Structure 1
Amino acid sequence: MPVRHGRVGQTARVSAVVWIAAVSLAAWLWLLLCQGFFWRTDVRLPPRTAPRRWPSVCVVVPARDEAAVLPASLPTLLAQDYPGRAEIFLVDDGSGDGTADVARALARRQGGLPLTVASPGEPPAGWTGKLWAVRQGIALARAREPEYLLLTDADIAHAPGSLRELVAAAHTGGFDVVSQMARLRVSSRWERLVVPAFVYFFAQLYPFRRIGRRGSRTAAAAGGCVLLRGDAAERARIPDAIRHAVIDDVALARAVKGGGGHIWLGLAVHVDSVRPYPRLHDLWRMVSRSAYAQLRHRPLLLAGTVLGLVLVYLVPPLALLCGLAVGSAPAAVCGGLAWLVMTGTYMPMLRYYRQPAWLAPLLPLTAFLYLLMTVDSAVQHYRGRGAAWKGRTYARPDAVADES
């Protein structure tokens, strides 16, 4: 009898593994076919024609302690080949490394588009530093009555025709927001392992094709490169309406789309981030500072996310290995097929980042790292160190008094 009971228990365990592997495979088939084809990387700037009259544009660059990266990024903005009137406003957000002086020196040395450097001081309660800087930049820009605002980060380098292409795309498509996901730097081994997956996961959460579709509720932008129509910014009360948002790009897109605006997001070809993340620690901080905010600081959403990551990314290789170990062909087949679909959907992103194909099967390992980063983000939040960036820690939005 003990032997029989042991066999029954083993059979039950194998059966459970088969069912879990089958659910994981079903999840991957659904993601492959029903999640906006998120895995495709051909969503680039839409067809565009040059307007008869090029509208005026003001470029707003919030910058905090960016002296090291400005020499690689700011000259690309100053050198924009734009046929209309364009001007740059760099807002120094309390830097301690001479960011403002570096910016002025670069403008004197290179020339190009006019540059104004402002230093508004520390943000008041209820504002993140970046959005307070953006507010000051937009306030300065509005004195010029621009038709468009380009919000771009201090670590983003633009090809000479980037601004022209963005404006032409917005004009042709009637978009209130045209945003490009800058190609992030991929040089160190940790960047190769983590960075392409970061964009892959983002696209899985916010499929680009759905974002640009009228009537779709999906809304997102990439904060490094956001061209925003001036009147749309006023209607959506940008940035005041999102002043406490840690994930400000998604909040901006939701505010504009919620007000009836038409938005577009895709992958960039001529827009690149020059910020290095050479160590795992650097990438860990980049992800963990906002991961729990993405889950709206809700423990149930955190638990669901952890379970989802385990089911979708960790179960396939574990089911394959377990099935091979105990001789369960169904478990091995379901796990292997799920892992194969996962690997295949990751390949286009690796090609976009010019990375070798052998990294694709390692996506479960990368997902496990992201799981740990997400849990760490929650731990840091409850320790009072959540959403910390460059010397500031921000409260959760519902802990901030409404000032509107």
Structure 2
Amino acid sequence: MRTSISDTTKLRALIDAEARRAGFDAVAVTRPDAIPLAPARLAEFVAEGFHGSMDWIAETIGRRAEPSTLWPEVRSIIVLAMNYGPDRDPRDVLDKHDRGAISVYAQNRDYHDVMKGRLKEIAGKIVARAGGDVKVFVDTAPVMEKPLAEAAGLGWQGKHTNLVSREHGSWLFLGTIFTTAELEPDKAEIDHCGSCRACLDICPTDAFPTPYRLDARRCISYLTIENKGPIPREFREAIGNRVYGCDDCLAVCPWNKFASVAAEAKLAAREDLREPRLSELLLLDDATFRSFFSGSPIKRIGRDRFIRNALIAAGNSGDASLTPVARGLIDDGSPLVRGAAVWALSRLMPRRDFAEFAASALQAEGDATVREEWLSALPVPAKDH
């Protein structure tokens, strides 16, 4: 859809005004062919196996790397950002071992729900003014939002692979509007990380093999959210009390000193999700889990995965008062939960008590993965000389 320079200028002014009205903190425009290096980088990421069990990345690699493959009619891509900067350092809770640490982005309503309706409103205004067609995406389709945001000038992908903004630090939600309208693209942002490696050095699990490359299989966000199985033993202690995601690499970024606190109440943290007690989280059955996390992205991983995470946190807490509730989960219907309960109890109970408990529990356990957890956690018998 070709428009005159005057019409294009007016359309861009409309987009900027509507974005501000809808609560977005930044908006910029790029072309669908503006990320030529993305296909090779994505292919390397998948070839290395860094995507872990996120098979949809490999399955959609062609469409993900080339926006015009996803929608051939697209002529311009509008990238919008919403600041969700926290009002305190999210790492403070990591020293409170009786509490669970939940990633800042998940402490209130699912940002997909918050943003998508607003993007659709803006898209509707674009069509009403300029005609043509539009498509709206919020992390729900094979769209590489971060490279597109960098190409549009909203920020740059830092060494932790997340978008960094000079105005908002690492705290930005991203959404895109694909349009058939011809819009003047904005200038791409350049990398301002310099020699800083704070985000790399703080990672508890060494998930960055090199700057600008993430091995998701080692990332706590992946391990506690995307990973459907038991959390590998090598990472359990490093997870600490993180029960959903990890903010360390985002929170340590020096550019956050310029970031403001999210202004919208819809993005402000729920008080009961700031520092929830592990003793209460471990008691959630499926119905109470769904109710407690209604409207939250946490609800999507399901109760069993979440309780698995909370049990790992309990095992790291050193808090023996959590032993009774962990023992109660040994009979849980989910092998995933039972296996995590074994590990937690092996850390919370005296060794002799745990060994005696294991002797009876092993006989009743029919799942091979849970039995393996028991056998792995039992003290190694002393050899006779």
Smaller-chain TM-score bracket: under 0.3
Structure-2-length-normalised TM-score: 0.27
Structure-1-length-normalised TM-score: 0.26
